[in-house]
Amino acid sequence: MSVQNQPEANQFSNQSPNSCQRALIVEGGAMRGIFASGVLDAFMAQDFKPYDFAIGVSAGASNLVGYLADSPKRSYHVITELATSKDFYNPTRFVKGGDLVDVEWLWHQSNQQFPVDKKKFYSSMPFWAAVTNIETGKADYYRIDEHNADNAMVATAALPIAFKSTPCFSGGCFTDGGVADSIPVKEAYRRGARDITVILSHPLNYQKSESKTPWLVKKLLARTPGLADAMLERSKTYNEALAFIRNPPSDATIKVIAPPEDFPVKRLTMKKALLNQGYEMGINAGRDHINNLNGFAGLTDENCHFCI
């Protein structure tokens, strides 16, 4: 079994807390990922890449591909042109027993229609994609390279139930990383990051609610009880990550870039006009973030929520 295909969840368990690495975390959120695509395009426009490593989840991982390969608007095109296609999202196909969302098609079609400079992509900063192990319900983190990219990038976005073909590789089977770790900020801290920037897909006041149909989750995932438990714990895990962001350890600084409260894009929004609005909000937020860091906005601890 190739070393490159192993999850690296324990690689930095003994990392010195004084390493002060800078990490970029990008949350998923399906079509809500259009916000992060705008933020990252704003970063690219100013050649803003101050990070030592990045971790992405689901759509967040896909967004990072364009950023790390220095391919502006790639993610925008993937979301607005491919993710809105019936080849990707098809409720009729789902009713007939097929995939609601075909993430494998999306990944390969993205690479065909919007290819990136692979040399630049793989030589950029280390990049991990979070996946959820369907047996344990725990998160694994695969460092993306040329050997595992196809498997890991499909797995990180393989929504349970909605995508029927569970990706299996490296001795395990996996599903969407957002089930076990939607916002891997704790993982970034554990790997040595003490300056962490998080791009969220929900406004700052968002809190994830518990499942209203736990019996249905258990029934649909009866063959994988570990995954069912992870699904039912998802709101708790998500809200714990938010609590970590709001109250980080004393030796860490966490900066957050989040959509405004009037962000119009939902998980399954397909209207291009709304997606364009969400993208522009991301562009503006990315520019504001850089300006704030450069001191152009005159923000202080009192009026700078989460130290943006």
Q: Are 154 and 99 within 8 A, CB to CB?
A: no
Give the pLDDT score at 11: 38
Q: What is the mean pLDDT of residues 31-53?
A: 97
Report which DSSP code applies to 202.
S
Over residues 128-179, the pLDDT tens digits come to: 999 999 999 999 999 999 999 999 999 999 999 999 889 999 999 999 999 9
> Which residue in the list 176, 181, 182, 201 is annotated as catalytic?
176
pLDDT tier for residue 201 given thresholds of 50, 70 and 90 = very high
Question: Could you read off the pLDDT of 207-244 as tens digits, one per residue?
Answer: 999 988 999 999 999 999 999 999 999 999 999 999 99
pLDDT of residue 207: 92
Residues whose CB is less than 8 angstroms from the CB of residue 156 and which lie 6 or more positions away in sequence, other chains included: 28, 56, 57, 58, 61, 129, 130, 131, 174, 176, 177
Angle formed by the axes of helices 225-232 and 234-246, nearest 10° = 50
Q: Does 14 have pLDDT greater than 80?
A: no
Residue 182: active-site member: no
What is the Rg, in whole angstroms, of the alpha carbon atoms belonging to the chain?
18
pLDDT of residue 307: 45
Q: Which residue has the tokens 């929504």?
A: 159
User: How many other CB atoms are found less than 10 A from the CB of residue 118?
Assistant: 12
pLDDT band, residue 295 (cuts 50/70/90):
confident
C-beta neighbour count of 243 within 10 angstroms: 11
Which two tokens mark 166?
């569970």
Asked whether the beta carbons of 136 and 172 are under 8 A apart, the reply is no
Q: Which helix (H) or strand (E) holds 139?
A: strand 139-143
Instruction: Kindly report the number of other CB atoms within 10 A of residue 205's CB atom.
Output: 7
| Tokens 């350890």 sit on residue | 249
Q: Is residue 4 part of a domain?
A: no
Percent pLDDT > 70 in the chain is 90
Strand 193-199 relative to strand 253-257, pairing: parallel
Asked if residues 122 and 146 have their Cβ atoms less than 8 Å apart, the reply is: yes
Decide if 303 is inside a domain. no
Mean pLDDT to the nearest integer, 30-50: 97
Where is average pLDDT lowest: 16-20, 29-33, 101-105, 273-277? 16-20
The first and second tokens of residue 303, run together, are 């009026």
Indicate whether 139 belongs to any domain: yes
* Domain boundaries, position 284: 21-294
Count up the domains in the chain and report the number.
1
Q: Is the pLDDT of residue 276 over 80?
A: yes
Beta bridge partners of 143: 128
Average pLDDT over residues 253-277: 96
31 within some domain: yes
**What is the rounded average pLDDT for all residues in the chain?**
90
In a domain, 48, yes or no: yes
Which residues fall within 8 angstroms of residue 192, CB to CB, at 6 or more apart? 12, 15, 16, 17, 19, 21
Amino acid, single-letter form, for residue 185 = V
Nearest CA to 230 out of 138, 130, 168 is that of 138
Q: What is the pTM of this model?
A: 0.90
Asked, for residue 6, whether it belongs to a domain, the answer is: no
Helix (H) / strand (E) containing 56: strand 53-57
Residue 175 phi/psi, 5-degree rounding, is -140, -175
Catalytic residue among 37, 58, 71, 170: 58
d(CA 188, CA 114): 29
Does any domain span residue 301?
no
Q: Does pLDDT of 196 surpass 70?
A: yes
Rounded CA-CA distance 55/75 in Å is 16
CATH code at 88? 3.40.1090.10
